[in-house]
Structure 1
Amino acid sequence: MTRVLITSDSHGLTEELTEIMDQHDEVDWYIHCGDSELDFDAEVLHPFYKVGGNCDFDPRYPTEEIKDIDGTRFFITHGHLHQVKSGLTTLSYAAEEHQAKVVCFGHTHIAGAEKIGEQLFINPGSIRMPRNRVEKTYAILEWLDNETVSVQFYTVDGQKIKNMSYSTIL
């Protein structure tokens, strides 16, 4: 069973990123959706597929990443260049151009997962400054079987948020 840990908008935090990774040794892949505010080669970010956000100034960050993880194409971006605060249409079109089924983004600091058409959108929220909820959040996507995936949201201390899980067929 493949597991992908997704985080975003950590805004300078390093100890918390390390703690999150330490709490989930079962994770196979790591994604950071931008606004880490760290250098591209910061040690804590080494295991992550990572993109730059509007608060990342290291020019080595790509604005988008396309990754195939166990046969599923991921589109990873921060979201500010796709106007995600106004909706997901522009982001959806960009992901569709790359035939991505899973779209990981941040920027809004609002945690959530939803499937629209054939695309699963995941915003892990923020581990520093969440919006629309008290908990500082990140997400783990895992395959339950060949087609069904689950997205579970966690607090920074590794506790599952009971009312924040989402399952769908990819």
Structure 2
Amino acid sequence: MRIAVFSDTHGDVDHMERAVRRERPDLVLHLGDLCRDFEELQARMPRQTMQNVCGNCDGFSLTPDQRVLQVEGRRLLMTHGHRYHVKASYNSAVFAAREAQAELLLFGHTHIPFCEELEGLWVLNPGSCQGRRGTYGIIELSGGGVTCCIKPAEEPETT
């Protein structure tokens, strides 16, 4: 299972759409800021399986700010991160993921990409998928385990 993870698109749906078309994921996750970008991507790609949460800049939304998903037998905690004060420390978010018995913690908010395994918990912040320096995350789930990486939203130029 291939999962593309986006956050903090802040109006830049085009970079996100190009990345989804390039990566061909089984599932797209958007971690908030902005929910309307997620909705626009859904309208452009109605056959793509997607889930999202809202962030601190999403205003009033019926979309939850956190979800626990079961994907390929693995639990994922997806959140924007602002309620866990991730700009100061990841500790509260990591604690919440462990409480939820998640194997993966996915959050945004900081605009700083991060991908690391911490004592059996994969922690992924895809960064901000906005503009030329934007980034996103890719998760591969297989019988053999989990791999994560950060990718540039804009394809490198080939010469």
TM-score range, shorter chain: 0.7 to 0.9
Task: Give deviations 1:79-126, integer Å, cap 9, x for gaps.
Answer: 000011111111012112211110000000000111222211000011
Task: Give the alignment of 1:82-93 within 5 angstroms.
Answer: 82-93=84-95
Letter in 1 for 2:33: D
Give 3-state SS (helix, strand or coil) of 1:110's partner: coil
Rate the CA distance shift 1:112–1:56 in 2: closer, same or farther, 3 A.
same
| CA distance in 2: counterparts of 1:118 and 1:62, whole angstroms | 26
Aligned residue for 2:36, secondary structure, equals coil
Aligned-residue identity in percent = 31
Hey, what's the Cα distance between the residues in 2 that align with 1:154 and 1:48? 19
> Structure 1 residues 69, 37: CA separation in 2 closer, same or farther (over 3 Å shift)?
closer
CA–CA separation in structure 2 for the residues paired with 1:152 and 1:48: 19
Decide whether the 8 Å contact of 2:115 with 2:124 is kept in 1: yes
Say which of 32, 35, 39 aligns to 1:34: 32
- The answer to whether 1:97 aligns with 2:83 is no
- Look up the match of 1:74: 76
SS at 1:85's partner residue? coil
Q: Given residue 123 of structure 1, which amino acid in structure 2 is its aligned partner?
A: N
- Tell me the distance in 2 between the aligned counterparts of 1:7 and 1:158: 16
Match of 1:135 among 89, 114, 133: 133
Residue 156 (structure 1) aligned with residue 153 (structure 2): yes
For 2:114, the equivalent position in structure 1 comes to: 112
Task: Provide the TM-score with structure 1 as the length reference.
Answer: 0.81
Paired letter, 1:29:
L
Q: Deviations over 1:10-41 (max 9, x none)?
A: 0112222221111122x11111111125177x
Match of 2:12 in 1: 13
Structure 1 vs Structure 2 CA RMSD = 1.9
Deviation larger for 8-17 or 76-85? 8-17
1:3 equivalent to 2:5? Answer no
Partners of 2:134 and 2:154 within 8 A in 1: no
4+ residue stretches of structure 1 with deviation over 3 A?
A: none
The amino acid of 1:152's aligned partner reads C
| Structure 1: gaps spanning 5 or more residues | 160-170
Q: Taking structure 2 as the reference length, what is the TM-score of the superposition? A: 0.86
1-structure distance, mates of 2:28, 2:155: 15
The secondary structure found in structure 2 opposite 1:60 is coil
Give the Å deviation of 1:65.
0.7
